[in-house]
Homo-oligomer: A and B are copies of this chain.
Amino acid sequence: MSRKKAQLSMAEIKRHSGTSPKKTRKRGIPTTRRLMELAVAEAFTGMRVNHGGPFGAAIVRNGQVVATAHNEVIKTNDPTAHAEILAIRRASAKLKTFDLSACEIYATCEPCPMCLAAILWARIPCVYYGCTRQDAEGIGFRDSLFYDIMGGMKTAGILKISRLGRRECLKALREWIRKTDRTPY
């Protein structure tokens, strides 16, 4: 990530962060930090209006903000409504593609496994994050445990996973590979 001057417009900074452009556009603050400020502003906004946990994210392409979001699990009753997921969904809708490989994402906390895998599926090649999974654990979130489960540890007592009906399910995969008009993603 280069530290060249931000290409954010004043209007965008104001709209996304809710702070004065003059205050945000401080001299000497690298572009990346100013972009992270947008994610931080989202985190505070979302928490204070009781939309969800204290987490925010921003997706940027060529220094231009494409989408920002904050956690909305409480507001929407959707356990997948993490800031990064919502930012990805909004950016994809705006850019009309599931391929965000020209983008980078700023997240106020280390993405949980759900969000990190979503970033991978979206092909976003560059992630900046503020707090760590341990910081999140410190305020009651289970990101760190979920990472352990991803690595094959500690599923006992939390999750029972069983294989069932592979033969029938494989038929769909075989039809996909034979399908001439399929779109790879």
Tell whether, in the assembled complex, residue A92 and residue B79 are in contact, meaning their CB atoms are under 8 Å apart.
yes
Tell whether, in the assembled complex, residue A118 and residue B165 are in contact, meaning their CB atoms are under 8 Å apart.
no
Contact residues in B for A52 (Cβ distance below 8 Å)? 185
Known A-B contacts A53-B185, A126-B160, A176-B139; A170 and B120 likewise in contact (beta carbons under 8 Å): no
Contact residues in B for A117 (Cβ distance below 8 Å)? 112-114, 117, 146, 150
28 pairs from A and B in contact (CB 8 Å cutoff): A32-B164, A37-B165, A43-B172, A44-B172, A47-B175, A54-B172, A56-B172, A78-B92, A79-B98, A79-B122, A79-B185, A80-B85, A106-B164, A109-B173, A113-B150, A114-B121, A116-B149, A117-B146, A119-B159, A120-B149, A125-B158, A127-B162, A129-B161, A130-B165, A130-B170, A132-B166, A151-B151, A151-B152
Determine the residue in chain B with the shortest Cβ distance to A41.
B172
Taken together as a complex, chains A and B put the C-alpha atoms of A55 and B173 apart, in Å, by 8
Partner of A73, one of B98, B130, B135, B169: B98
How many identical subunits does the complex contain? 2
Q: How far is the CB of A155 from chain B (nearest CB, A)?
A: 9
User: Among the interface residues A74, A89, A117, A159, which one has the most CB atoms of the partner chain B within 10 A?
Assistant: A117
Taken together as a complex, chains A and B put the C-alpha atoms of A158 and B127 apart, in Å, by 11
Total number of A residues with any Cβ neighbor in B under 8 Å = 94
Tell whether, in the assembled complex, residue B163 and residue A132 are in contact, meaning their CB atoms are under 8 Å apart.
yes
Tell whether, in the assembled complex, residue A127 and residue B159 are in contact, meaning their CB atoms are under 8 Å apart.
yes
> Which 4 pairs across A and B sit closest by C-beta, in order of nearness?
A130-B169, A114-B117, A54-B172, A150-B150
